């Protein structure tokens, strides 16, 4: 599988190219946004490792730009590692976040988890299985084709957003704790203060709720977690 590493640290780029290459990946390198765009002109990789602090366009701007054209998994890196960086990075569309300095083995585990999740949402061939369609409100979630439609028009979701919505749709009217959601969505040890689920819920609400501040479908159950209600709250 192909990985694009975007980082202005030459030593780190070369280290990741060597380490990921030894673990079976085809690795391409870019030192800034200009080089990233040049590499992407030849095709989208299977995942992108993107540094937050870059010369010119920073990682947040580039992640935002990528999300306008692709749902490619993005693993964001930052030398700062503060929670606000993590939150903003996830809000603009990164799928995961890793603070520098990091263990190459942890980066590999996180990267493989992102790729597994993306592969799980690749559309199956028509002969493999019939389309599985679940509807709620004006939406239709096609699990086989990895698509969310609203009144017949496609709503663009990242692989992380799609997997979160799939979990909710498959467990309607049931409270799911943050720990349960994290365990279902991540393939590695989690931080006890991990807020990624809350951020992904916020991102997903922006795409499916008429008023994200007063959600109809994905409701917060105080002190317990989240509940997906296909019909909305009872009147």
Q: pLDDT per residue over 93-109, tens digit each? A: 788 888 888 999 999 99
**Residue limits of CATH 1.10.10.10 in the chain:** 133-228
**Residue limits of CATH 3.40.50.2300 in the chain:** 2-120
In terms of pLDDT, which residue wins out, 181 or 145? 181
According to CATH, what is the number of the domain 133-228?
1.10.10.10
DSSP string of 34-72? HHHHHHHTT---SEEEEESS-SSS-HHHHHHHHHTT---
pLDDT digits (tens, 9 = 90+) for 17-74: 999 999 999 999 999 999 999 999 888 999 999 999 898 999 989 998 998 888 889 9
Confidence of residue 80 (pLDDT cuts 50, 70, 90): low
pLDDT digits (tens, 9 = 90+) for 213-227: 999 999 999 889 999
According to CATH, what is the number of the domain 2-120?
3.40.50.2300
pTM: 0.60
Is the distance from CB of 32 to CB of 55 less than 8 angstroms?
A: yes
Distance, in Å, from the CA atom of 205 to the CA atom of 155, rounded to the nearest integer, reads 12
Is the distance from CB of 82 to CB of 97 less than 8 angstroms?
A: no
Is the distance from CB of 152 to CB of 197 less than 8 angstroms?
A: no
Phi, psi torsion values for 97, nearest 5 degrees: -145, 135
Confidence of residue 127 (pLDDT cuts 50, 70, 90): very low
């Amino acid at each position: 599988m192909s990985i694009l590493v975007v980082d202005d640290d030459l030593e780190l780029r070369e280290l990741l190219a060597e380490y990921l290459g030894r673990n079976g990946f085809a690795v391409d390198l870019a030192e800034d946004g200009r080089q990233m765009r040049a590499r992407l002109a030849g095709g989208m990789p299977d995942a992108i490792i993107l540094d937050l602090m870059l010369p010119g366009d920073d990682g947040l701007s580039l992640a935002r730009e990528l999300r306008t054209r692709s749902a490619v998994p993005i693993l964001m890196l930052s030398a700062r590692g503060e929670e606000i960086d993590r939150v903003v990075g996830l809000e603009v569309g990164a799928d995961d976040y890793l603070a520098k300095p990091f263990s190459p083995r942890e980066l590999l585990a996180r990267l493989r988890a992102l790729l597994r999740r993306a592969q799980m949402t690749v559309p199956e061939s028509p002969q493999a299985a019939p389309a599985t369609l679940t509807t709620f409100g004006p939406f239709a979630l096609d699990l086989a084709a990895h698509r969310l439609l609203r009144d017949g028009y496609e709503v663009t979701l990242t692989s992380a957003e799609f997997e979160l919505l799939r979990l909710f749709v498959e467990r309607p009217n049931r409270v799911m704790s943050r720990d349960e959601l994290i365990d279902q969505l991540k393939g590695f040890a989690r931080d006890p203060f991990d807020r990624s689920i809350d951020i992904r819920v916020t991102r997903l609400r922006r795409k499916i709720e008429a008023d994200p501040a007063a959600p109809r479908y994905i409701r917060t159950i105080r002190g317990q977690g989240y509940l997906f209600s296909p019909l909305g709250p009872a009147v």
